[in-house]
Amino acid sequence: MDSPRHTKELDRATDSSSKTPVDPLVTDANQPKPEAAAPPSFKRGLRFWTIMVAVGFTGLLTALEATITSTALPTIIANLEGGDAYVWAVNGYLLAMTALQPLYGQLANIFGRRWPTITAAASFLLGSGIAGGAQNIGMLIAGRVIQGIGAGGINVLCEILVCDLVPLRHRGNYLAGMFGMIAIGTALGPFFGGLIVDRTTWRWVFYLNLPIGGVALILLFFALHVNANKDKNLATSLGKIDWIGNAIFVSSICALLIALSWAGAIYPWSSFRVLVPLILGLVGMGAFIAYEGSPFCSQPMMPLHLFSNRTSATAFVLTFLHSIVTIWALYFLPVYFQGVLGSSAQRSGVQLLPTILVLIPFAIAAGGVMSKLGRYRPIHHIAFALMAVGMGLFSLLDEKSNTGTWVGFQIVESAGAGFMIPTLLPAVLAPLTEADTALATATWSFLRSFGQVWGTAIAAAVFNNRFGQLADRIADPVIREQVSGGDAYQYATANFTKSLAPETKQQFISALNGSLQRSWYVAIAFAALGFVLVIIEKEVPLREELDTEYGVVDEKKNDSSLQKEVPLREELDTEYGVVDEKKNDSSLQPANPSPRQRRRTTIPESRQTSASSR
């Protein structure tokens, strides 16, 4: 990477390696050549850490909000009499969050990072207030959609900010911390949802965001002063947005997400209500790709050159696969704990803690290893291998497994998932330029979220399909009919299993366990595919310099600690000095002036007369 731009004069003045004084009678051609100035060092001051803390907590809240309603939703819907509209309280959030992420990447390039980030955080808090104060199901859904709009921006912009503030090679350490917070929120959401509903009003499921998010918003407002595009013409800025591409993309993704949300859970995969939006979404994505690569799109929101090198393209696919496998475990381990072992929702959250407690330290360790060695491919191989082994171990679990068994199995799978967390985005960005950071990060963030949606849909489809095959084990025809047709997941709770007769209970648990076993087998295939695809990646050197136009203002350009000290001249060397001191003071002239020097210092009589008259 090129060193920072300096003028020749500043390079000479600030070059501490050259001690040779500058002789005014020596030409530039003969002057000793100073060494090029080193790039500014990576600074981590108070403002840097303030921004990191703020983005970490906002990421935690958005992840928490994505899963906290899973246990609180029945109570919320019953209170608001929402009926079948309950599904949109969840899907509205996920739709808005996922579909708008690439747009935020383009907005960050056009308007800078500060105001899109603050606007996204404010939108999330506004939606939380509306949802918490909802008096009917429509108001709840509206609040959740506004929350999702803000959450999508937070997810993208927090990652972009880390990329702006930290050199590529060292980003893993900070991404590990941020994604660790997101993992905590995702895993603990169901636990806190059940706890809040049991101990207080459901409205605190949403109000909880206001004090924590409010502090984070204040910190961002005062600390997030970064360089931005100085174009003051709003019309010009708006003209840079890929309006057509965004319209095609958002509508296509919404159709796909609706199909995936309904498939298996509300309607069978063969239903036209699933097939129609699924086909429309896939066709729309094809049209979107064609448009982005066409000459009609001058400002693409997802430039195809991001996928033109094998390393970035493979890392995008690995991100998608990692999300599928990770969410697979987070969604179906609770089915095992509650449906097979008979744990309550709260206890299930506690039993899932090994996944979280292991995920974070292994993510931090992977970030440190990548920063130290500058390599990511070996980490990816180890990670996917551990995830595949972990999924295989999960398939051995049954109602007789003891605590040490399911804790140990979680450690293996979670270690692999944690290893991947901080190393995927640097692998995507390594072959690209810093100018591609915002759009590449937004694309990566979208694929991460999109992978979670596909992960839950595929896992649920496999689980429900297998349960349908094993439902004949249940002798009671009423219970068999009740839990068939894609409804087994929602009945995999301790309360339901305890309500069954002993024989029926054992039959139901046997069908659940067999369905989970098949689900884990399929998850092994996805992890194994990731292991194989790592071979395609190339080990691109990770940049250690920070060369971005969006850095923190005072630390990037005005911090005196980043500038070398320039010595102050003690001589006065100007042709515009006072006449009698500059030209006539004998103390300033040589003791034996040459004829040429005498001619220079003698003031013509005409000029003396003119000076006297003035």
pLDDT winner (highest mean) among 322-331, 332-341, 520-529? 520-529
Q: Which pLDDT value is given to residue 395?
A: 95
Q: Which pLDDT value is given to residue 231?
A: 62
pLDDT winner (highest mean) among 31-45, 385-399, 544-558? 385-399
> How far is residue 313's CA from residue 294's CA, in Å, rounded to a whole number?
20
Q: What's the rounded mean pLDDT across residues 361-366?
A: 89
How many other CB atoms are there within 10 angstroms of residue 268's CB atom?
A: 17
Q: What's the rounded mean pLDDT across residues 139-152?
A: 92
What pairs with residue 267 in β-bridges? 263
* pLDDT class of 166 with cuts at 50, 70, 90: confident
Q: Identify whether the C-beta of residue 146 lies closer than 8 Å to the C-beta of residue 62.
A: no
Q: Which pLDDT value is given to residue 5?
A: 38
24-38, 396-410, 447-461, 498-512: which has the minimum mean pLDDT? Answer: 24-38
Indicate whether 19 pLDDT > 50.
Answer: no
* pLDDT class of 605 with cuts at 50, 70, 90: very low
Q: Which pLDDT value is given to residue 2?
A: 43
> How far is residue 113's CA from residue 109's CA, in Å, rounded to a whole number?
8
Q: What's the rounded mean pLDDT across residues 146-175?
A: 87
Return mean pLDDT, the chain. Answer: 80
Indicate whether 36 pLDDT > 70.
Answer: no
List the beta strands (DSSP E) in 193-322. none
5-9, 62-66, 270-274, 599-603: which has the minimum mean pLDDT? Answer: 5-9
> How far is residue 303's CA from residue 435's CA, in Å, rounded to a whole number?
12
In percent, the amount of the chain with pLDDT more than 70 equals 79
Topology (CATH level 3) of domain 41-241: Growth Hormone; Chain: A; (1.20.1250)
Indicate whether 582 pLDDT > 50.
Answer: no
Q: What CA–CA distances, in Å, run from 359 to 180, 184, 187, 605?
A: 7, 9, 11, 89
Which tops the pLDDT comparison, 189 or 514?
Answer: 514
In the numeric block, the tokens 């003035």 are attached to 614
25-39, 280-294, 409-423: which has the minimum mean pLDDT? Answer: 25-39
Q: Helices marked H in 133-208 — which ranges?
A: 137-165, 171-199, 204-207
39-48, 87-96, 435-444: which has the minimum mean pLDDT? Answer: 39-48
> How far is residue 168's CA from residue 163's CA, in Å, rounded to a whole number?
7
Q: Identify whether the C-beta of residue 504 lies closer than 8 Å to the C-beta of residue 470.
A: no
Q: Which pLDDT value is given to residue 10?
A: 32
Q: Which pLDDT value is given to residue 55?
A: 87
Indicate whether 31 pLDDT > 60.
Answer: no
Q: Identify whether the C-beta of residue 115 lies closer than 8 Å to the C-beta of residue 166.
A: no
In the numeric block, the tokens 């050259």 are attached to 18
92-117 tens-digit pLDDT: 888 888 889 999 999 988 888 888 99
207-240 tens-digit pLDDT: 999 998 999 999 999 888 776 666 667 778 888 8
Q: Which pLDDT value is given to residue 210?
A: 93
Which tops the pLDDT comparison, 184 or 370?
Answer: 370
> How far is residue 341's CA from residue 348's CA, in Å, rounded to a whole number?
9
Q: Which pLDDT value is given to residue 83?
A: 66
Which tops the pLDDT comparison, 555 or 197?
Answer: 197
Q: Which pLDDT value is given to residue 460?
A: 85
> How far is residue 27's CA from residue 13's CA, in Å, rounded to a whole number?
16
Q: Which pLDDT value is given to residue 547?
A: 61
Q: Which pLDDT value is given to residue 533?
A: 96
| Nearest CA among 443, 419, 417, 415 for reference residue 429 | 443
Indicate whether 561 pLDDT > 70.
Answer: no
Q: Which pLDDT value is given to residue 7?
A: 37
Q: What's the rounded mean pLDDT across residues 588-604?
A: 49
Q: What's the rounded mean pLDDT across residues 575-601?
A: 49
Which tops the pLDDT comparison, 458 or 29?
Answer: 458
Q: Which pLDDT value is given to residue 546?
A: 64
288-292, 457-461, 519-523, 563-567: which has the minimum mean pLDDT? Answer: 563-567
Q: Which pLDDT value is given to residue 126?
A: 96
Q: Which pLDDT value is given to residue 416?
A: 95
Q: What's the rounded mean pLDDT across residues 61-87?
A: 77
Q: What are phi and psi of 494, to 5 degrees?
A: -65, -40
Q: Which pLDDT value is given to residue 574?
A: 47
Q: Which pLDDT value is given to residue 323?
A: 93
